[in-house]
Amino acid sequence: MKPNGSIISCPLACRAAPIDGSLRRTRATIRKRANLSPLLMTLWVAVMVAVLAVPAITIAADAPRRPNIVIILADDLGYADMGSFGSEIKTPNLDSLAKDGVRFTNFYTHASCSPTRSMLLSGVDTHLNGLGNMNEMIAPNQRGVPGYEGNLNNRVVTLPQLLKDAGYHTYMVGKWHLGKQPDQIPAARGFERDFSLLDGGGSYWNMMNITAAVPKSLFTEDGRYLTKLPEDYYATKTYTDKLIGYIDANRGDGKPFFAYVAHQAPHDPYHLPREWRKRHDGEYDKGWDAVRQERLKRQVEMGITPAGTELAERMWFVPDPIVLAPASRYILGKKMELYAGMVENMDHHIGRLIEHLKKIGEYENTIFIFFGDNGAEGTDLFGMIAGSPGSRDNLFAAINWSQTHPNAWGDPESWVGYGPMWAQVSMTPFSQFKGWLAEGGIRNGLIVSGPAVQRQKGSINHGLMHVADLMPTLLEVAGATYPKTHEGREVPALMGKSLGPVLAGKADSVRTDQDYLAWEVFGNRAVRQGEWKLRWQIKPFGKGDWELFNLAADPAERKDLAAQHPDKVKAMLAVWESYVKANNVILPNRTLFDTMEKDMPQRVTVYPGFPPLIYQQQFVPPKDMLADPKP
């Protein structure tokens, strides 16, 4: 407190001043004055306590409330799937958050779901926090190695644990995917209330899972494993209902809340109530190339993407839709219609949460953070898991996911994913998709709104950001600190940087051109430093060698500059090696992609209009030169 009685401001959040030190000093003074008479001592102590109580009461009365924090995470949502990032998909509620806040165009996650979630909740690199590889894909040489447990390990402290210690209510709804044992579930990692899907995916309607070995999805509610789901369960709706109930249960107690809303949508299978399935009827029959071009045009007009940006090359194994029969375009377009409906349904339920917070007077004091957990899903996940005919999982899939007719798509027991062609649309203008370290696997659209944002409303920021930045940012918002130890254990240092200066409008980025970000998963690896990116990917998605891209000039990663800039490659390789050493990176000796190069068509460069044979049109002679045959 200043001498004039006003509150001293502190970054992003105001912290209550402790009075413990003053009381200790008071007790010392009392001891020094022990020669006072009992009556005088009693009167003196009463006066001092009253004096000390006045500033404490003033602080409590005058200090601003700490903001609520809501992180909304979409599962496999693409960079370009929101209206505010160039999509034709209607997302008015997310767009309203963008209009009230700021959009970040250079925000990075990881290439797959659980690695991203582990960094979001721990602020620590995946190779240290337990998700050095996904639990489902841990390689033989990674088993038993610290950092590769396949779950969020106990060497890290989580964001909800620290916020809970700082006086926040902590709620979670949705997909967890960070461990199933009792000491690994949300209730054990800092969440006061939760309704959580522990698996990586499954039905939106019931507990049906994907494989014969794990036929039933596992859920927890408030730390107990559920034997069944609510009668009217639909994932996106139920998660929202539960969270609203948690918020209302503690209303009026004066404590702020942290809510982690980890939506399953729009991860496949694409399950959707029937009334949401026809909102884009026939819209995608035009094909993926046309929709990508339209999205890029809107992105440039909005300022999301610089003018002159090229689209990434269409994947070489994806056909040009113009050569497909109308029936094929219709069926493939119907998959995208279903996906778009799922995104709009998710936006609808996000809108329910926003409206409820407005109704109870909490909206203006709530920070919203929204993004997707990785690139859009372009892999045939169902085919990969079900395997070949005659296998255990293939039989399970045939029995339990048997609704294959297009009219049943979206119903229970149907499984639809939209494929690599539409995944590239979702990731416009970038290359590739989920699972890979091209920009299409790791770049996401981020929206932040609420009282921490002092930038111009509706503005766009192009600074380099990372999902691990959110933990230090939110601790600062809450007036909490990251500890050196937790429960007697040393914890790894945070890898991210607080976005406080950026949100306050005092900086455009928290990183210099010397700072770097690095990734490794499934043996693929990448480093970004400034505008440069060094990337190594398994063939045929990569070259099986290091490639160099200048993302400022070439965000679609069309031009490998490694041969032209060997010194830059050398310098960034040194950065990569330092990352490997600091984070105990162990490259896997087996991956699911080991035979991909042989199983897929040979990679070739895609040129529009090649080969001319399939693009040639019927020649129509001039009318004045037409004639019937002579007799």
519: number of Cβ within 10 Å: 23
Question: Which residues form the catalytic set?
Answer: 113, 177
Which residue is associated with the tokens 């995916």? 201
Asked if residue 241 lies in contact with residue 232, where contact means CB atoms within 8 angstroms, the answer is no
Give the separation between CA 426 and CA 336, rounded to whole angstroms: 10
DSSP single-letter state for residue 440: H
Peptide bond between residue 540 and the one before it cis (omega within 30 degrees of 0)? yes
Distance CA 447, CA 458 (A): 10
Report the chain's C-alpha Rg in angstroms.
28
- How far apart CA 204 and CA 252 sit, in angstroms, is 33
> How far is residue 229 from each of residues 196, 248, 385, measured CA to CA in Å?
11, 21, 25
Write the Ramachandran bin of 530: left for phi over 0, alpha for psi from -120 to 50, otherwise beta.
left
Work out the angle between the directed axes of helices 326-359 and 92-100 (0-180°, nearest 10). Answer: 50
Q: Rounded to 5 degrees, what angle do the CA atoms 317, 319, 325 make? A: 145
Question: What is d(CA 236, CA 262) in angstroms, rounded to the nearest whole number?
Answer: 10
3-state secondary structure of 503: helix
Strands 546-550, 224-225: pairing is unpaired
What is the b/e burial string over 453-483, where b = at least 16 CB atoms within 10 angstroms of the residue's CB? bebeeeebbbbbbbbbbbbbbbbbbbbbebe
Backbone angles phi, psi at 589, to 5 degrees: -90, -5
Peptide bond into 429 cis (omega under 30): yes
Spell out the long-range contacts of 4-13 with Cβ–Cβ below 8 A and sequence spacing 24 or more. Answer: 5/58, 7/59, 7/62, 7/63, 10/479, 11/476, 11/500, 11/504, 12/452, 12/476, 12/477, 12/500, 12/503, 12/504, 13/66, 13/67, 13/476, 13/477, 13/478, 13/479
